[in-house]
Structures are given as structure tokens and as C-alpha cells.
Structure 1
Amino acid sequence: MSKNLDLVSRNIAKACERAGRDKADVTLIAVSKTKPVSMLMEAYRHGCRQFGENKVQELSQKYEEMPKDIQWHMIGHLQRNKVKYVVGKAALIHSVDSLKLAEEISREAVKKQLEVSILIEVNIANEESKYGVALSDAEKLIHGAALLPNIHIQGLMAIAPYVEDPEENRHYFTLLKQLSVDIKQKNIDNVNMNVLSMGMTGDYLTAIEEGATHVRVGTGIFGERHYPFQDI
């Protein structure tokens, strides 16, 4: 796994060089869903401090078992009745796709007297199988969520289609980047567009070339997935 992490890191550096960007501006999130703590600790010992989970139960359990200097990212679909398990554990919730979900996160944050950073998830390719707000509705959701107490919109997230050729997703990454630029220019209170979470194992290099600040790499680090967890 150390070799995988080193390879991904070198690839990120090369993609940044091609795009004229600083490697320090790109955060690698090790997507550790379905992987045991022993594997995560191997990545941790190799310097990884950013881990992404799709399931609430996994994030909660690993949060308790692993070192507290880790930043956890909730990247999977989040149901409103599970928000209470994530607020206070996730450094960043990537998958906010409705005002009702944002309201629930806000309520829980107020209750726990915490400030919570979120991203708005955009269904950039309008896929029926994917969560996320439609591109055309994203600004409306941002305006509504920005008014809520104790949550802060830090940017956007998208899951591009699964493709064999990452070039096929470049258009979607460009669209998300343009949306972030458009939103930033409107200077909406309580809205930053500093985070652009896009790109996974198959297309993270293309995403970086188009402006990704956070890339979510699982298989490229840990190998193929296994599914021992049942979510709560």
C-alpha cells in the first residue's frame, strides 16, 4: 500500500505541474470504505491524515478506534436520521444535496454547539442513479443553506460518471469548476468556494487539471473493495 500511496502522490504532483498548480493546493482523501482499521493504520503510518467514508457506521466506528489527528470526510449519501452520528466527527461533509439535509445538520450543530463545514453535492451529469442537486438548482440550494446557523458552505462536490477514458469526464469537471467560479463571484455571505471535491481513482488526474482541490482515491490506494459492514 505504501507503494500505491507514493505512486498516487507522484501522479498528483505531475498533474499539478501540467496544470501549473501547486501540489500543496490538492488534498488527497484516502477513501477507506469497507477497509479494516489495520489497513487504514498502514496508510496513517505512511503519513495519510485525510480519510473518506461512505457509510455512517464505518466513519463513526473508525473515528473512535483511530488517532484523533485524522480528518474524516463523509463522502457518501447522508440520511437525515443519521446526521447526529456524523456531526462532531466529520471534518467535512461532502454530500449535502438538499435544504432539508442542510437544516438537519444545522440543528444538530446548534445542539452540539459546533461549527460544521459542508459541501454542496451536484449531480453534474444528471444521472438517475446518483444523488446530488441538479446543476440548475445548485445556486438556489446554496442561497438557502447559507442562511442556516452553525454550518458553513466551503465549496462543491461531484461524482462524475464511471468511464473507461477519464477524458470523457473532463467536460463535467469543467462545468463544476465554472459553477464554483460563478458562485464565488456573487459573494454570498457564509459561502466559500475554496473546495472543489471531484475526481476518483479512474479520473483524479483529469480532475486536478480542471481545478479539483480534493480528490477521493480508494481503489488506487487500498485495492478492490470488500463489503463486511452493514450500515446503521
Structure 2
Amino acid sequence: MISDNLREVRQEIQNSCALVGRKEDSVTLIAVTKTVDSEKTKQVVQAGILDCAENRAEKFLEKKQELADFPQITWHFIGNLQRRKVKLVINEIDYFHALDSLKLAAEIQKRAEHVIKCFVEVNVSGEESKQGITPAELSGFIEELKAFDRIQVVGLMTMAPADSTKEQQHEIFRTLRQLQEKVRECHLSYAPCTELSMGMSNDFSVAIQEGATFIRVGTALVKDM
């Protein structure tokens, strides 16, 4: 049951926050609903999770339409967004978690009808299979984004390798936090960079301990549904 799963996740969030002296409400729980249908997504929302994430344009649009009776949902788009599909989804979402190139930024600028809240994706671990800019590229990339007035960099995003140890997870998430702090300290109007999107079902506890403000949880919430 989603209610049981949610209880377990919220307890782990509470425990993780307590370990480092954070308040539980400093963490936004995003339900990654990409693997379940609209009916099960509706159950997630009815259980009290109002932030939902999808990663495929067509499926997202279909699901949003089917859940039109729940306008309170905050929609997050995670994962790679092909430039040719930007026009389909960019004005339908509240947050985009995978900005990783100037070409994509230019397409968002072209298609957006309002300012889009974006997370810059940083490939901290260096995995070849992962999208994202390198830590060394971040400063220059942020500077280049100044030209796009319909993009607001609200924070940074990363993922730890699926087979990473807790020690490696701590290092990866700590590195992203340090990068985020450097950008935030620049006090850029277009890149306040106050948020950290990191941590999934298998590592969100570590991510919270390292400062995550948005965690993206799928399996731990929708298992056995």
C-alpha cells in the first residue's frame, strides 16, 4: 500500500534530518511516477504527495491530462529531454531537473512562455553513461546562461552510481553541495541556486545528510502497488 510505503519513507526522511540537525520540511519529496499508470499516480497524490516526476514527454502529457482533476500537483520533468520535444512539455511543467547544454537552454528559451525553474545537471561521478556537465565546466556554463532570461537556475542536480557505496555517495553529494554553494554565493539574479536535487530510493538518506532539498523517490513509494 502506498500509505505504508509513504510512512516508511517519511520516517527515513525524519531520521536522516535528525542526524544532521535539519527540519523535515526542508526536504521536498518528489514521487517518481514514471513506472506506474495514472490510476496509481492518483493514489500517490491522494496519499498526500503533491510533487510528481516523469521522464518521457508523451507519457507525461498523457498522464497530466488524465490527472487534470488534481491541479495542485507540482510536475517535475527528470531525465534527458530531447530538444525536439521541448516545445511539447516545457510550458506544462513546474521544474526541469536536467539542464545540461547550451543548445537545450536555447531551445527552452525559444519555446518557454514564462520563466522555467531549472536544475543544472552535473555529472559529479564521471560516469560515461550519465548525462550532465562536468564540475569543471559548471562556472562557465552558469555564466553562459545569463543570456537566457526565461531560465532560472534554482539549483543543481546529480545522481550517484547505482552500485556506489555509502562513502562514495557521501562524497558525490557533498561535492554537489559545495558546487551549489559556490554558485549561490555569486548572488546571480538568474541563478539563485538555493536547491539541491539529489537522492533516489536507494540513497536519499545520504543525500539528505549532505543537504538535498529535493529527493526523487520512485521504487520505495510505489513498490507492491
Aligned residues between the structures: 222
Cα pair 2:29 2:215 within 8 Å, conserved:
yes
Cα pair 1:147 1:190 within 8 Å, conserved:
no
Residue number in structure 2 paired with 1:182: 182
The reply on whether 1:103 has 2:106 as its aligned counterpart is yes
Query: How far, CA to CA, are the matches of 1:224 and 1:154 in structure 2?
Result: 34
Residue number in structure 2 paired with 1:133: 133
* 57-66 vs 175-184, greater mean Cα deviation: 57-66
What secondary structure, in the 3-state scheme, does the structure 1 residue paired with 2:154 have?
A: strand
Query: How far, CA to CA, are the matches of 2:6 and 2:87 in structure 1?
Result: 32
Query: CA shift at 1:224, angstroms?
Result: 7.6
Query: CA shift at 1:168, angstroms?
Result: 2.5
Percent of paired sites with the same residue = 36
The reply on whether 1:72 has 2:72 as its aligned counterpart is no
Query: How far, CA to CA, are the matches of 1:222 and 1:77 in structure 2?
Result: 22
Deviations 1:165-216 (A, max 9, x none): 4332110000000001111112223111211000001000000000000000
Query: CA shift at 1:146, angstroms?
Result: 2.8
What secondary structure, in the 3-state scheme, does the structure 1 residue paired with 2:161 have?
A: coil
Amino acid at match of 1:11: E
Cα pair 1:146 1:152 within 8 Å, conserved:
no
Residue number in structure 2 paired with 1:195: 195
Summarize the alignment of residues 1-232 of structure 1 with structure 2, pairs less than 5 Å apart.
Answer: 1-66=2-67, 67-109=70-112, 113-163=113-163, 165-223=165-223
Query: How far, CA to CA, are the matches of 1:68 and 1:88 in structure 2?
Result: 15
Cα–Cα, structure 1 residues 193 and 95, in superposed 2: closer, same or farther, change >3 Å? same
TM-score, structure 1 normalization: 0.92
Cα–Cα, structure 1 residues 223 and 121, in superposed 2: closer, same or farther, change >3 Å? same
Deviations 1:75-111 (A, max 9, x none): 11011101011112110000000011011111111xx
Query: How far, CA to CA, are the matches of 2:192 and 2:218 in structure 1?
Result: 27
Cα pair 2:149 2:190 within 8 Å, conserved:
no
Cα pair 1:32 1:53 within 8 Å, conserved:
yes
Cα pair 1:139 1:183 within 8 Å, conserved:
yes
* 159-168 vs 84-93, greater mean Cα deviation: 159-168
Query: How far, CA to CA, are the matches of 1:146 and 1:72 in structure 2?
Result: 25
Amino acid at match of 1:104: E
Which ranges in structure 2 are unaligned for 5 or more consecutive residues?
none
Amino acid at match of 1:70: I
* 215-224 vs 95-104, greater mean Cα deviation: 215-224
Amino acid at match of 2:95: L
Query: CA shift at 1:164, angstroms?
Result: 5.8
Which ranges in structure 1 are unaligned for 5 or more consecutive residues?
226-232
